[in-house]
Structure 1
């Protein structure tokens, strides 16, 4: 979900309100979750008309594409790690460091590390007793509609004054403190259903794996960007940066021609600009994943609440700040414009109704 600034919003509910909201809604009483559901569940495609997510976990097409687009980042990171380690060490030590870095990504898929990722990487915390009660009621309602074992996932809270939900690789789902304390019960369920939609397609896993293996390369790009910003203040530094980059690219192409490898140098020349280009399709995939998660929430019976929530954000100027970022902000944005999300949901609802 999007993360607007803190806003005044009515939202004080009694336990009776939460219990009644869990049992009723536009789609009628929520069905009981079957006892034999193992907890893992389906693809990133929208839930079927019956309102249940597929139960066999699988990566969606968008998650698989995100992993493929992360490969160039990983190769760049491998080059950075091996190069920097070779400056400090030599021989077997370099091989050991590179091997440990490659294997470190496997820790992401180990369940024991999930709580550390949620707590220290994503800065989440365990809910308080009162927060846990509210989350349990809302989460049980969502999981009952999806046919998912509610105990399979771990619920967290982000200490933030924005309206947001978070899906963390593994089994973690989080909402912000403000959303938990202020959103009406049905809208809170809609937020949780949206995050459940992310998990159904493996999007949190793909995002975290790409994030992890891209860090060394991203640090290199960040250093380059810092030098570019410095060059705005010191033109001579900017000239040196541009010259170095051009000589690096031309040198790769010339080296290929000298060695006689057909097209190899130009291949490396194109690959050298990958870190500056790949974020664009990655951002597009992220925007598509948000739309798919919106559809999952709608198919689970929360279309009205999700659309109303988006209209509320739009009326409070959420898209105004986005338009102010210009074309560059739109190109690298990880969430679609609110207007696009509303339009996509309304078209989807009309299509399913017909």
Structure 2
């Protein structure tokens, strides 16, 4: 099967479309799942890990509300209530579009780009039994072979991935991102970041203020600075004693959160493999590995790997092998993978 040239995308950079078996062309009856979204173990793990941060942020916002009430008069519960309700903006389409443009730096696909992207997305979502019209496709101006899923309905691919990946591999990348959405990784990740933000900002402000205070006092008198440091140390020790050392768990939080994020990536890979895109996804990972080897990319250190939100490509390929060895079955959408 040949493909006519698409305006706006160089023909020599586009792969043929005959590497993907389109079984769900427009007009084909598609069986949609009754439950379009779920929440897997990584979602509940992420929410549990961020519960202390959420409670800290709630205290910060509540304290700000009491100060606001004392100064200006509005009820103290109003800021906390508005902040709690603001999480719903994750699924608010205009808010998502604002995030896509101004936070993630994404762009709407041009008609020629959408003509290439939309049929692949339709095939991926049809195999999964998902209503693809619920999601919005975006383009990221990047020279990396990458894609992202965010908020409640954002799915984006880089321009290089759109122009250079064969459609089967592009479908595998999109199936991976769809897995993030249907398993709840995107909304839980954004919500935990948002609800932990006030506490994180307050902690950074307190730390910066403490350092500045110590520097200022040391400029006047070193004994005063020493007394201040000892006082702060005593307060920290008293806090740890009163809370049975629970704040020390916050030191491990970045590592635990990164571990949960890596597990979520592997689950999204499994989602793509179950839909029949495992071999294509493996080809994408092998291609990225070849580029890294050609560019002489150095391996990251142990600490960097522990803090990485994504597993390395060799680990992802290792976990994909068990799905590649399995006999393809019938996805939840009702279409055989064959």
TM over 0.5: yes
The equivalent residue for 2:135 is: 153
Give the aligned CA root-mean-square deviation in angstroms.
3.5
Where do residues 305-344 of structure 1 align in structure 2 (5 Å cutoff)?
305-317=280-292, 323-324=299-300, 326-344=301-319
User: What is the DSSP-based 3-state SS (H/G/I as helix, E as strand, rest coil) of the residue aligned with 1:317?
Assistant: helix
Deviation string, structure 1 residues 174-224 (Cα, Å, up to 9, x no partner): 111221122222211111011111112111111111011011122244456
Cα offsets for 1:280-311 (capped at 9, x unmatched)? 22111110111111111112222221112111
C-alpha contact (below 8 Å) 2:270/2:320 kept by paired residues:
yes
Q: Name the structure 2 match of 1:82.
A: 62
- Aligned residue number for residue 46 of structure 1: none
2:274–2:323 Cα contact (<8 Å) kept: no
Alignment-derived partner of residue 30 in structure 1: 23
Worse overlay, 55-64 or 111-120: 111-120
Count of residue pairs the alignment pairs up? 308
Look up the match of 1:12: 13
The alpha-carbon deviation at position 58 of structure 1 amounts to: 1.7
Task: Check the 8 A contact 1:63/1:202 in 2, yes or no.
Answer: yes
For the pair 1:279 / 2:272, whether they are aligned, the reply is: no
Question: After superposition, what is the alpha-carbon deviation per residue over 1:259-282, rounded to whole angstroms, capped at 9, x for unaligned?
Answer: xxxxxx234x41x33443222221
Cα 1:164–1:104 change in 2 (3 A) is same
2:161 maps to which of 179, 182, 186: 179
Q: Counterpart in 1 of 2:52?
A: 72
Separation of aligned partners in 2, 1:122 and 1:330: 24
Shift of 1:245: 5.5
Structure 2 distance, partners of 1:70, 1:127, is 35
Q: Which has the larger radius of gyration?
A: 2
Per-residue CA shift, 1:97-144, capped at 9, x if unaligned?
A: 222222222322334533223233332221111111111122122123
1:303 pairs, out of 249, 266, 278, with: 278
- The whole-number CA distance in structure 1 between the counterparts of 2:48 and 2:299 is 30
Normalising by structure 1, report the TM-score. Answer: 0.74
Task: Give the C-alpha shift of residue 70 in structure 1.
Answer: 1.9
Cα distance in 2 between the residues matched to 1:147 and 1:69: 31
Please say if 1:266 is aligned against 2:253: no
- Alpha-carbon distance in 1 for matches of 2:86, 2:298: 36
2:140 and 2:159 in contact (8 A); partners too = yes
Distance 1:341 1:65, change over 3 A: same
- For 2:76 and 2:98, the matched residues in 1 are separated by 28
Task: State the match for 1:50 in structure 2.
Answer: none
**Residue 117 (1) aligns with residue 102 (2):** no
Query: Structure 2: which 5+ residue stretches go unaligned?
Result: 1-10, 220-224, 330-338
3-state SS in 2 of match to 1:336: coil
221-230 or 313-322, larger mean C-alpha shift: 221-230
Name which of structure 1's ranges 179-188 and 343-352 shifts more when overlaid on structure 2. Answer: 343-352
Q: Which runs of 5+ in 1 are unaligned?
A: 1-9, 42-53, 255-264
2:252 is the alignment partner of 1:251: no
Contact 1:142 1:193 in 2 (8 A): yes
C-alpha displacement of 1:316: 2.5
Q: Measure, in 2, the Cα distance between the counterparts of 1:239 and 1:106.
A: 47
